[in-house]
Amino acid sequence: MSSILTNTSAMAALQTLRTINNDMETTQGRISSGQRVGAAKDNAAYWSIATTMRSDNAALSAVQDALGLGAAKVDVAYGGVEAAIDVVKTIKQKLVTATEQGVDKVKVQEEITQLQDQLKSIGASATFNGENWLAGGSAETTVVTGFVRGDDGTVKVTTATYDSAANALFGAYDPSTGEVDDSTGYLADTLAIELTDATTDAEVAGHLDTIETALTNLAKAGSNLGSLSMRIGLQEDFASKLTSALDKGIGRLVDADMNEESTRLKALQTQQQLAIQSLSIANSNSQNILSLFR
């Protein structure tokens, strides 16, 4: 039935055109943003997962920064330990020289004093951001090593601890003066060595025992720092890989397939043109009715 009040063909064509236009708007939005799930309305489940994963990725980025900071602290401390070992070895050589007949022990002590001052300088200089891991004090130091999300959704930051008090080369560090307490720590006895003309070979031998103990303790501190440095390095590598994996996982959930969207857009453009043509034809039916009354 033909009616001038209700044009069912035009209504159907208009509805088809509206549907195509909506699909085109969705496709164009995916192409412009690069995402097929850009909001919760697109896919609530995927959007929620992607949002959480992005949050975790941001936390991992902060962890990587913290790992870099921790690595710098460890490197500074380890460098200080290595330098101290070299100096203590030189002091050992000077003590051996002092056992030779006819050697002026006072002259040897002058050299040892310079080396002792160098040890103090190393202890005071091995600081990073106001922290000195060679000077023990009483506090343990921690380094951020990771970010963990549990199955129940809880999150926590993991840390590694370095006991600077138990591995102290010197006593507490005073940031205001830039000095360390040389009366305590692994090197306290080494710094207390003092040769005079009256120093006997037995006393020199005792000093050599002191040096051996200091070298053993320095090796222990260096080993602990080396182990911590290795762990931080492994964690940095893992965090980098985990960040990349999370990025890929987010992409699989929400990224648009640009080849597919491009093909869909071309198809919709063709459908749109046909729908417009169909609507034009449907609208012309009313004009055709007029011809019946001429």
**Euclidean distance between CA atoms 231 and 41, whole angstroms:** 43
- Eight-class DSSP state of 149: E
Same domain as 293, residue 217 = no
- The count of structural domains within the chain is 2
Q: Which residues have CB under 8 Å from 178's CB, separation 6+?
A: 124
Range of the domain at 289: 258-294
Pair (292, 225) in one structural domain: no
Per-residue model confidence (pLDDT) at position 5: 59
**Whether 90 and 206 share a structural domain:** yes
Are 233 and 71 in contact by the 8 Å Cβ rule? The answer is yes
Q: How many CA atoms lie within 13 A of 30 on its CB side?
A: 20
**Residue 82, domain member (yes or no):** yes
Do residue 137 and residue 278 come from a single domain? no
The dihedral over CA atoms of 38, 42, 48, 54, expressed in degrees to the nearest 10, equals -20
- H/E segment holding residue 131: strand 131-132
* pLDDT for residue 286: 66
Residues 58 and 187 in one domain: yes
pTM of the model: 0.74
Does some domain include residue 12?
no
Q: With respect to residue 26, please indicate whether it lies within any of the assigned structural domains.
A: no
The single residue listed with the structure tokens 């009040």 is 5
Check whether residue 194 and residue 263 sit in a common domain.
no
Domain harbouring 168, CATH code: 1.20.1330.10
pLDDT at 252: 86
pLDDT of residue 102: 84
CB 243 within 8 A of CB 61: yes
Is the Cβ–Cβ distance between 205 and 254 less than 8 Å?
A: no
Residue 248 lies in a domain: yes
My answer on whether 231 and 269 are in the same domain is: no
Q: Provide the phi-psi class of 137: left if phi over 0, else alpha when psi is between -120 and 50, else beta.
A: left
* 117 located within any domain: yes
pLDDT confidence of residue 94 = 95
Query: What pLDDT score was predicted for residue 293?
Result: 60
Domain match, 170 and 184 both: yes
Query: Cβ distance 143 to 159 under 8 Å?
Result: yes
The verdict on residue 2 lying in a domain is no
Torsion angle, alpha carbons of 228, 232, 234, 237, to 10: -170
Do 271 and 191 sit in the same domain of this protein?
no
C-beta neighbour count of 130 within 10 angstroms: 7
Distances (CA, A) of 171 to 23, 120, 182, 225: 72, 11, 6, 18
**How confident is the chain (294 residues) per 10-residue block, as mean pLDDT?**
65 84 81 81 87 85 87 93 97 94 92 96 90 80 79 77 88 85 92 93 94 95 92 88 88 83 85 83 70 62
9, part of any domain: no
Same structural domain for residues 184 and 263? no
Q: Which two tokens stand for residue 174?
A: 């005073």
Same-domain status, 79 and 190: yes
Same domain, 274 and 137: no
Please report whether residue 144 resides in a domain: yes
